[in-house]
Amino acid sequence: MRHLIDPSNLTRDEVDTLIEQAEDIKNNPGKYADVCKGKILATLFYEPSTRTRLSFESAMLGLGGTVLGFSNADASSASKGESVADTIRMISCYADICAIRHPKEGSALVASRYSQIPVINAGDGGHQHPTQTLTDLMTIHAVKGRLTGLTAGFCGDLMFGRTVHSLVRSLAGYEGNKFIMVSPKELKVPNYIRDESGCQIIAESENLEEYIGQMDILYMTRVQRERFFNEEEYVRLKDSYILDKEKLINSKNDLIVMHPLPRVNEISVEVDSDPRALYFEQARYGRYIRMALLMMLLNAAA
Ligand code: NCD
């Protein structure tokens, strides 16, 4: 039985296979309509979500399976004090696979240790978010045709942004990728991510305009309010970066602007119509890659 807790749980070959499979699903959805017939996905969401939970559910439904779960901790026995370990023991009796999102770092790993079914980490606190990374890799591959030799700029909350941590970890495993980290000094990418990923950071700055011209990818992120210890600090930092048309003037024509969404203020809506804005398309890919992932973990074939 396999789990997906961290991007490193998948080999590079497996990621390539998932992307290939997801592209085939996108082009031939009918072929996959029954491959998970009779299978049940449980979505255990202890934290808010729109895209991740709904794309997981839509993915399972698109494969002919069914879904159950909860979308907030108050609606589950967590509100009565039940531990993740006990909850997952129960869920293992009711479903064939589960996706879990939880505010505490490491909770998906804990769940996987007590589970009888594959566990997918759908975000554990400010730690990792491997299925967003698969979505991001599929998007980059679809547009750039490769995952190597790219200069990726990450901008915003690099400290608490779990999507950043997982994507940096994955992209660092491909040859020739370089990283430009743009954040306020309070929200720099954590040392453990730099050290473990071995990512090649060519610049680290508080100034987006200075480096935007070197980037092939600009990955914007929301300042993660829910991870702050004090609201004043959040208010002070929340609008550190607002990408608008003017800031894009010096960027490459084939830059892609990505964002895991939800966006708050960090990308002005005037950017949405720019051909470089890819974030809504990116969200669409999330469903296909999750279909491919569910198939892989359930050993389903078309
Ligand atoms: C992200 C998350 O939950 O980490 N959203 C998502 O899954 N697409 C990013 C965020 O909430 O800022």
Q: Return per-residue pLDDT of the chain as tens, 302 residues.
A: 999 999 999 999 999 999 999 999 999 999 999 999 999 999 999 999 999 999 999 999 999 999 999 998 888 888 888 999 999 999 999 999 999 999 999 999 999 999 999 999 999 999 999 999 999 999 999 999 999 999 999 999 999 999 999 999 999 999 999 999 999 999 999 999 999 999 999 999 999 999 999 999 999 999 999 999 999 999 999 999 999 999 999 999 999 999 999 999 999 999 999 999 999 999 999 999 999 999 999 999 88
pLDDT value at residue 74: 87
- For the question of residue 52 being annotated catalytic, the response is yes
Which pair of structure tokens corresponds to residue 183? 């954040």
Nearest CA to 296 out of 39, 6, 21, 11 is that of 21
How many Å apart are CA 14 and CA 295, to the nearest integer?
12
- For the question of residue 129 being annotated catalytic, the response is yes
How many Å apart are CA 134 and CA 140, to the nearest integer?
10
Choosing from 51, 162, 222, 287, the catalytic residue is: 51
CA distances 224 to 158, 227, 233, 234, Å, are 9, 6, 11, 8
Place of tokens 């495993």: 173
* Ligand 1 atom nearest to 101, measured from its CA: 3
pLDDT value at residue 279: 98
**Ligand 1 pocket residues where CB is under 6 Å:** 51-52, 123, 129, 132, 162-163, 222, 260-262
What is the 5 CA–ligand 1 centroid distance (Å)? 16
Burial of 30 (0-12, 13-18, 19+ CB in 10 A): exposed
Give pairs for 275-280: CB < 8 Å, separation 24+.
276/248, 276/251, 278/139, 278/143, 279/220
What is the 139 CA–ligand 1 centroid distance (Å)? 16
Count CB-CB contacts under 10 A for residue 155.
27
Domain 131-282 belongs to what architecture? 3-Layer(aba) Sandwich (3.40)
Cβ neighbors of 164 (< 8 A, separation 6 or more) are: 154, 157, 158, 189, 193, 219, 221
- Tell me the one-letter amino acid at 28: N
Can 7-128+286-297 and 131-282 be said to share one CATH topology? yes
- Give the domain ranges of the chain: 7-128+286-297, 131-282
- For the question of residue 135 being annotated catalytic, the response is no
Nearest CA to 217 out of 165, 148, 269 is that of 148
The protein residue with its alpha carbon nearest to ligand 1, atom 6, reads 260
* Ligand 1 atom nearest to 129, measured from its CA: 4
pLDDT value at residue 156: 98
What is the 159 CA–ligand 1 centroid distance (Å)? 14
- CATH superfamily of domain region 7-128+286-297: Aspartate/ornithine carbamoyltransferase (3.40.50.1370)
- For the question of residue 51 being annotated catalytic, the response is yes
pLDDT value at residue 133: 98
User: pTM (2 decimals)?
Assistant: 0.97
Nearest CA to 120 out of 216, 47, 56, 169 is that of 56
pLDDT value at residue 256: 98
- For the question of residue 26 being annotated catalytic, the response is no
pLDDT value at residue 134: 98
pLDDT value at residue 302: 84
What is the 88 CA–ligand 1 centroid distance (Å)? 23
Choosing from 3, 39, 52, 163, the catalytic residue is: 52
At 171 the three-state DSSP class reads helix
pLDDT value at residue 79: 84
- Tell me the one-letter amino acid at 267: I
What is the 31 CA–ligand 1 centroid distance (Å)? 30
Which pair of structure tokens corresponds to residue 127? 């730690």
- If one residue of 127, 129, 162, 265 were mutated to test the ligand 1 pocket, choosing by the most ligand atoms within 8 A of its CB, it would be 129
The protein residue with its alpha carbon nearest to ligand 1, atom 8, reads 260
